[in-house]
């Protein structure tokens, strides 16, 4: 090698150095960019997103990659030209032109490849940002109001809302990725003022979902653990060496997660015992059967135990929807799940009156209710039991799962009869304050003593007597 370079001219050595060094650097850049840097690139994209939407990276000419490409081809072209007896001037010209062409080609190559790899990421990022802003805006309208009261005895009574110190949010992830659930859980908690939010999320396809991680970053979650199922609930409720216990657990999950939440209730607070998803669609002759069928399938694809019900006063419409369900099912990627869901829990109900519609809906108390009818105002006031209600033909339940602004964590299994969907109120506790005056205890005391004695609680009575005894 020394002899080779020793015999070569300065120009030849320059070309060889440019070719060899450039080739080595270019190869490393290529490998890091397209082979080994997938996760890193994703993280970089996510970090760049904090500065706002740049619309993606456009074509760039003078970059480090392109300069290295120039010197690589410049070098190899020079080596070939000199070996073939070209003059120095021709060699330099041809080498420079080749290098510049390679710069352009490399620029477009990396631009094209980056667009292929980033387009999906950027699209998801924008969708998450959009949902975040709408959910934040709607939930920010929810306000708590502290109450104070002073009676004619100068007794002061009041209560105030205090945020829960720590909350664990469960985000399903074993079979799919749900960044929307991160937003629905965490945004109301942040608005309420919860200081510590812990996210548990099973890996999706062997790794954490970039979309879920970006959503977590968007809402400011800094404590994330790759664990799922009942064991994740146990870790949040009781703590582990790595996971400090929380005060409350929220978020949907499968039957094992729901059962675990029920088991640990009392040790920690929970939002609800969430069952399989549910939808009831009320339709009439003015409804679009194709849309209604799609709405039902959109719920059926969640789980084989999902409940999908259509209620209508139009027999012909019901028959049409039934046919369309079969047709649309054929092209649904999760058709096996949806088909079984419809077989187990799909119900088409014919009724003859609005009263029957109201009675059935209130009895079912569905998680999701779509009043896909022209005059929904006629029955709306009479419906008392539902997690959320979509009004009119354009209000698809699927939108409420993502970016309508309302929360998609809703009561199921008829629990809408006595509970509500997740909101900022789930992340507060209310403390009562009582400040009795001397006149107050003397006035209220005798009656309280009477009740205490009646209940056999003499200790209660004594604690009051000591305060009203006159010297």
Q: Which CATH superfamily is domain 278-418 in?
A: Nitrogenase molybdenum iron protein domain (3.40.50.1980)
Instruction: For the chain, 471 residues long, give each residue's pLDDT as a single digit of tens.
Output: 455 555 667 777 787 878 788 788 878 876 765 554 444 343 333 343 333 333 344 556 677 777 888 888 888 887 888 888 888 888 888 888 888 888 888 777 767 766 655 556 778 888 999 999 999 999 999 999 999 999 999 999 999 999 999 999 999 987 778 999 999 999 999 999 999 999 999 987 778 888 999 999 999 999 999 999 999 999 999 999 999 999 999 999 999 999 999 999 999 999 999 889 999 999 999 999 999 999 999 999 998 999 999 999 999 999 999 999 999 999 999 999 999 999 999 999 999 999 999 999 999 999 999 999 999 999 999 999 999 999 999 999 999 999 999 999 999 999 999 999 999 999 999 999 999 999 999 999 999 999 999 999 999 999 999 999 754
Separation of alpha carbons 409 and 185, rounded Å: 8
Tokens 């420079």 correspond to 96
**Residues 156-270, CATH architecture:** 3-Layer(aba) Sandwich (3.40)
Alpha helices in 9-63 (DSSP H): 10-34, 38-49
Report the candidate in 54, 182, 188, 184 with the shortest Cα–Cα distance to residue 114.
Answer: 54
Separation of alpha carbons 174 and 235, rounded Å: 18
Residue 279's CB is within 10 A of a number of other CB atoms, namely: 23
Strand order in the sheet with 223-225: 223-225, 196-200, 166-170, 248-250, 269-270
All structural domains of the chain with their residue ranges: 2-134, 156-270, 278-418, 436-468
Same fold, 156-270 and 278-418: yes
Q: With contact defined as beta carbons under 8 Å apart, do 287 and 393 qualify?
A: yes
Q: With contact defined as beta carbons under 8 Å apart, do 238 and 265 qualify?
A: no
Tokens 């929970």 correspond to 270
Of the residues 367, 442, 455, 460, only one is catalytic, namely: 367
Please compute Rg for the chain using Cα positions: 33
CA trace torsion 455, 456, 459, 465 (10° rounding): 70
Task: Please give the model's pTM, rounded to 2 decimal places.
Answer: 0.74
Please, what is the angle between helix 315-329 and helix 335-345, to 10°? 150
Separation of alpha carbons 409 and 142, rounded Å: 16
Is 367 annotated in the active site? yes
Which secondary structure element, helix H or strand E, spans residue 103, and what is its range?
A: helix 88-140
């Amino acid at each position: 090698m020394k002899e080779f370079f020793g015999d070569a001219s300065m120009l030849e050595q320059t070309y060889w150095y440019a070719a060899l060094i450039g080739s080595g650097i270019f190869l490393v850049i290529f490998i890091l960019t397209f082979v080994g840097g997938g996760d890193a690139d994703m993280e970089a994209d996510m970090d760049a997103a904090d500065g706002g939407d740049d619309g993606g990276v456009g074509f760039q000419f003078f970059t480090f990659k392109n300069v290295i490409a120039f010197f690589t081809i410049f070098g190899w072209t020079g080596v070939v030209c000199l070996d073939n007896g070209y003059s120095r001037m021709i060699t330099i010209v041809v080498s420079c032109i080749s290098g510049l062409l390679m710069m352009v080609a490399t620029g477009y190559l990396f631009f094209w490849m980056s667009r292929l790899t980033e387009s999906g990421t950027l699209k998801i990022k924008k969708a998450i940002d959009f949902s975040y802003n709408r959910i934040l805006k709607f939930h920010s309208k929810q306000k708590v109001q502290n109450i104070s009261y002073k009676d004619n005895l100068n007794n002061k009574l009041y209560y105030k809302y205090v945020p829960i110190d720590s909350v664990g949010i469960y985000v399903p992830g074993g079979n799919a990725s749900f960044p929307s659930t991160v937003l629905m859980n965490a945004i109301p908690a942040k608005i309420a003022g919860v200081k510590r939010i812990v996210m548990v999320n099973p890996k999706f396809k062997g790794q954490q979902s970039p979309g879920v991680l970006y959503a977590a970053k968007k809402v400011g979650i800094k404590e994330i653990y790759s664990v799922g199922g009942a064991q994740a609930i146990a870790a949040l409720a009781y703590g582990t060496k790595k996971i400090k216990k929380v005060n409350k657990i929220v978020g949907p999950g499968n039957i094992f997660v729901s059962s675990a939440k029920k088991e640990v209730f009392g040790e920690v607070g929970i939002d609800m015992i969430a069952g399989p998803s549910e939808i009831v669609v009320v339709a009439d002759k003015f409804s679009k059967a194709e849309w209604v069928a799609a709405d039902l399938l959109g719920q059926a694809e969640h789980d084989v135990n999902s409940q999908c019900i259509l209620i209508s006063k139009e027999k012909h419409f019901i028959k049409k929807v039934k046919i369309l369900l079969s047709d649309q099912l054929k092209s649904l990627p999760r058709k096996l799940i949806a088909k079984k869901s419809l077989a187990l829990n799909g119900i088409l109900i014919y009724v003859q009156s609005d009263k029957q519609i109201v009675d059935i809906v209130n009895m079912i108390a569905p998680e999701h209710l779509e009043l896909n009818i022209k005059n929904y105002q006629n029955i709306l006031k009479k419906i008392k039991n539902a997690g959320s209600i979509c009004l009119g033909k354009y209000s698809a339940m699927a939108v409420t799962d993502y970016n309508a602004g309302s929360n998609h964590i809703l009561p199921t299994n008829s629990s809408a009869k006595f509970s509500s969907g997740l909101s900022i109120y789930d992340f507060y506790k209310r403390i009562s304050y009582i400040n009795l005056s001397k006149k107050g205890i003397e006035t209220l005391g005798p009656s309280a003593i009477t009740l205490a004695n009646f209940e056999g609680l003499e200790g209660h009575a004594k604690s009051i007597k000591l305060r009203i005894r006159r010297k």
